């Protein structure tokens, strides 16, 4: 076999690389120019071009089974399959974020495919309890526009949640395709806000509302998933303002300061989502430290004047930096979006659970005061 | 081999941080574990002399890695090492098959047609491995791409993600690499 010297190889390689995507006529023309006085170079490049054509025609190396006499799973498949979480057998990984992976899995009980999210990585162990607490809370609420939790649990030390897989696409994909405002999606947005209100009615905050977590079923229904329940920010992430990308853009300013967030943080996220639907791009689009700065301190560009004033005001109030200046919950925001038809709901009483929490806090303070005085 | 998962996690972490010595150590740990399991599988005298790759990688992975602490960054390095280790094991296996074939021909024993077929592929696999070694010498990224896609079975997306290149580049490189290998293998005949 002729094995060209390294310098010659590089020469052949560079020319081959230059012409491989060209049409046959353009290839020949370029070779005429480049190989003047060097017919051997031309022959070498033409040999490789011929090999390229034959490779495509023969699907060379495309069918691994032909070589191995047996079905050979891919390394990631085999690795993923090594994971069995209770009754769920992991089939393949769908996507991953810094501290979590989302997998396609087979449910041995129902013989159906489900989606499983599990925590993993160095940061996982301390996140375990808050994660399970959050997903159990979300999973306890049933609503047409919330995904159904099949199981929340822990297996071999790995916390996981399994949900029914109804997604045909996601809002993130829809936004990428539309590349412009989507005012026609307002009814879907309101349906989503209804699902978030169902959580708020139970005193639960979702904490991770963003386009990736809004799944769209085959019938076109928008469903909010709890699969992406937000990671809690580590102290160093808050201090350095280097926030994991998936969170940026839709997480309220107080979340970026390391606070856990309550329903009003969800109102901010819904406001950001509404802004995106009305203007065609997120209020703080750049996934950089500057975006963190902007979300905390700056106002987004004003919405187009074609957007009705009542909607612009609703978005503005939802995106207030101070949670106290926002709508108290998703239902109040939804009412404002509907044009104040049910204006009285914007002054809706605080959910009994939050009221109870406040009362407990007051009693505790009184006890502490009494102890101090005593 | 009985390397505790904590040790593997440490090596994976160092390899992910760009430590070349750790990456080499990782490959050697993964390879020896896979080889140990593969030879035990082959010892069990399966009629077809093939082994279940799924169980092979499962077992190695389960033994070696603390799954509760494995994130994507670490897993990428595990994949890269496992793909190279798979290549080594499959090619070693093919070489042994070829040796059996030569021995059988020498003794003029009749060859079963099915075995002949698989042996001819074994020969192709060995040739591919030689061409790949040459490609790795000249262009490491293209060579690694072949290890990941062909021996590891990674998709274009997974390969692009692992090598830190765009999907489009990964697709173009895959075509390019196959053209090189095809040419080498044709010239060798």
Concatenated DSSP letters for A333-347? HHHHHTTSTTGGGGG
Q: What are phi and psi of A36, to 5 degrees?
A: -60, 125
> Burial letters for A234-257: b for 16+ Cβ neighbours within 10 Å, e otherwise?
beebbeeeebbebbbbbbbbbbbe
Q: Above 70 in pLDDT, residue A250?
A: yes
Determine whether the interchain pair B187/A2 forms a contact, defined as Cβ–Cβ distance below 8 Å. Answer: yes
pLDDT value of position A344: 40
User: Mean pLDDT lowest for which of A151-160, A211-220, A245-254, B61-70?
Assistant: B61-70
pLDDT value of position A239: 54
Chain B: give the shortest CA distance to residue A76, in Å. Answer: 7
Chain A: give the shortest CA distance to residue B26, in Å. Answer: 16
Question: Do A222 and A184 form a contact (C-beta atoms < 8 A)?
Answer: no
- Average pLDDT for residues A38-65, to the nearest whole number? 92
pLDDT value of position A139: 80
B-interface mutation test, from A78, A80, A101, A128, most B Cβ less than 10 A away:
A78
Q: Above 90 in pLDDT, residue A290?
A: no
Determine whether the interchain pair B50/A70 forms a contact, defined as Cβ–Cβ distance below 8 Å. Answer: yes
DSSP string over A224-268: E-STT-PPPPPHHHHHHT---GGGTTTS-HHHHTT----HHHHHH
Q: Which residues of A touch B70 (CB under 8 A)?
A: 120-121
The residue of chain A with its CA nearest to that of B51 is: A70
Determine whether the interchain pair B181/A61 forms a contact, defined as Cβ–Cβ distance below 8 Å. Answer: yes
User: Mean pLDDT lowest for which of A187-196, A215-224, B24-33, B177-186?
Assistant: B24-33
3-class DSSP state for residue B51? coil
Q: Above 70 in pLDDT, residue A172?
A: yes
B-interface mutation test, from A5, A75, A154, most B Cβ less than 10 A away:
A75
pLDDT value of position A66: 76
User: A203: which 2 tokens?
Assistant: 């005193």
B149, B154, B176 member nearest A20 (Cβ): B176
Q: Which residues pair with A162 in a beta bridge?
A: A116, A151
Number of A/B CB contacts below 8 angstroms equals 136
**Confidence tier at A246 by pLDDT (50, 70, 90):** low
Q: Which residues pair with A158 in a beta bridge?
A: A155
- Average pLDDT for residues A206-231, to the nearest whole number? 82
More confident position, A212 or B16: A212
Which residues, in sequence order, are CB contacts of A126 under 8 Å at separation 6+?
Answer: none
User: Mean pLDDT lowest for which of A40-54, A190-204, A207-221, B62-76?
Assistant: B62-76
Determine whether the interchain pair B50/A68 forms a contact, defined as Cβ–Cβ distance below 8 Å. Answer: yes
pLDDT in tens, chain B (189 residues): 456 667 777 787 787 777 888 878 887 878 777 777 766 665 554 545 455 566 667 667 666 666 655 666 667 778 888 888 888 877 887 887 777 777 766 665 544 444 444 555 788 889 999 999 999 988 999 999 999 999 888 999 889 988 889 999 999 999 999 999 999 998 765
Determine whether the interchain pair B72/A98 forms a contact, defined as Cβ–Cβ distance below 8 Å. Answer: yes
A3, A61, A75 member nearest B154 (Cβ): A75
Q: Which residues of B touch A56 (CB under 8 A)?
A: 175
Q: What are phi and psi of A124, to 5 degrees?
A: -65, -50
Percent of chain A scoring above 90 in pLDDT: 36
Residues A206, A225: Cα–Cα separation, whole Å: 9
> Burial letters for A159-186: b for 16+ Cβ neighbours within 10 Å, e otherwise?
bbbbbbbbbeebbeebbeeeeebbeebe
Q: Above 70 in pLDDT, residue A178?
A: yes
Chain A: give the shortest CA distance to residue B157, in Å. Answer: 11
Percent of chain A scoring above 70 in pLDDT: 78
User: Mean pLDDT lowest for which of A174-178, A255-259, B134-138, B180-184?
Assistant: A255-259
Q: Taking all residues of chain A, what is their mean pLDDT, rounded to a whole number?
A: 81
Cβ of B70 under 8 Å from any chain A Cβ? yes
Chain A: give the shortest CA distance to residue B145, in Å. Answer: 12
Q: What angle do CA A284, A290, A293 make, to 5 degrees?
A: 80
CB atoms inside a 10 Å sphere around CB B185: 18
């Amino acid at each position: 076999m002729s094995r060209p010297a390294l310098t010659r190889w590089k020469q052949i390689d560079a020319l081959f690389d230059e012409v491989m995507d060209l049409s046959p006529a353009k290839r020949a023309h370029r070779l005429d120019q480049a190989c003047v006085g060097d017919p051997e170079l031309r022959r070498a490049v033409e040999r490789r071009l011929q090999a390229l054509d034959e490779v495509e025609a023969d699907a060379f190396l495309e069918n691994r089974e032909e070589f191995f006499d047996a079905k050979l799973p891919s390394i990631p498949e085999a690795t993923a399959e090594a994971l069995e979480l209770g009754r769920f057998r992991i089939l393949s990984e769908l996507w991953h974020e810094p501290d979590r992976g989302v997998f396609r899995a087979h449910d041995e009980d129902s013989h159906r495919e489900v989606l499983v999210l599990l925590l993993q990585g160095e940061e996982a162990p301390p996140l375990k309890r808050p994660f399970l607490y959050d997903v159990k809370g979300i999973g306890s609420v049933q609503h047409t526009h919330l995904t159904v939790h099949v199981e929340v649990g822990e297996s071999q030390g790995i916390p996981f949640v399994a949900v029914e897989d109804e997604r045909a696409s996601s809002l993130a994909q829809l936004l990428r395709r539309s590349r412009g405002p989507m005012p026609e999606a307002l009814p879907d947005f309101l349906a989503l806000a209804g699902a978030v209100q169902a959580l708020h009615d139970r005193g639960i905050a979702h904490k991770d509302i963003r386009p990736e977590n809004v799944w769209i079923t085959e019938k076109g229904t928008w469903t909010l998933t709890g699969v992406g329940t937000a990671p809690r920010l580590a102290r160093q992430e808050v201090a350095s303002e280097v926030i994991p990308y998936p969170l940026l853009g839709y997480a309220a300013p107080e979340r970026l300061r390391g606070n856990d967030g309550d329903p009003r943080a969800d109102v901010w996220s819904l406001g950001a989502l509404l802004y995106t639907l009305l203007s065609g791009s997120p209020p703080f689009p750049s996934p950089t430290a500057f975006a963190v700065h902007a979300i905390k301190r700056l106002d987004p560009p004003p919405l187009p004047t074609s957007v009705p004033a009542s909607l612009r005001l609703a978005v503005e109030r939802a995106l207030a930096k101070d949670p106290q200046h926002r709508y108290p919950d998703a239902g109040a925001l939804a009412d404002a979006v509907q044009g104040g038809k049910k204006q009285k709901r914007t002054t809706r009483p605080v959910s009994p659970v939050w009221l109870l929490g406040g009362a407990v806090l007051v009693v505790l303070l009184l006890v502490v005061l009494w102890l101090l005085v005593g | 081999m009985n390397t505790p998962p904590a040790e593997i996690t440490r090596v994976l972490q160092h390899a992910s941080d760009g430590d070349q010595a750790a990456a080499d150590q990782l490959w050697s740990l993964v390879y020896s574990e896979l080889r140990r399991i593969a030879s035990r599988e082959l010892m069990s005298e399966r009629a077809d002399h093939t082994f279940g790759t799924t169980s092979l990688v499962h077992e190695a992975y389960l033994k070696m890695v603390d799954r509760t602490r494995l994130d994507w960054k670490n897993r990428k390095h595990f994949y890269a090492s496992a793909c190279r280790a798979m290549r080594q094991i499959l090619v070693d296996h093919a070489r042994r098959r070829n040796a059996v074939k030569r021995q059988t021909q020498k003794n003029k024993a009749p060859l079963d047609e099915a075995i002949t077929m698989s042996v001819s592929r074994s020969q192709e696999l060995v040739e591919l491995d030689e061409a790949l070694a040459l490609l790795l010498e000249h262009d490491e990224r293209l060579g690694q791409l072949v290890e990941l896609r062909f021996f590891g079975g990674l998709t274009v997306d997974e390969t692009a993600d692992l090598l830190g290149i765009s999907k489009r580049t990964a697709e173009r490189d895959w075509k390019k690499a196959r053209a090189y290998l095809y040419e080498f293998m044709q010239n060798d005949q």
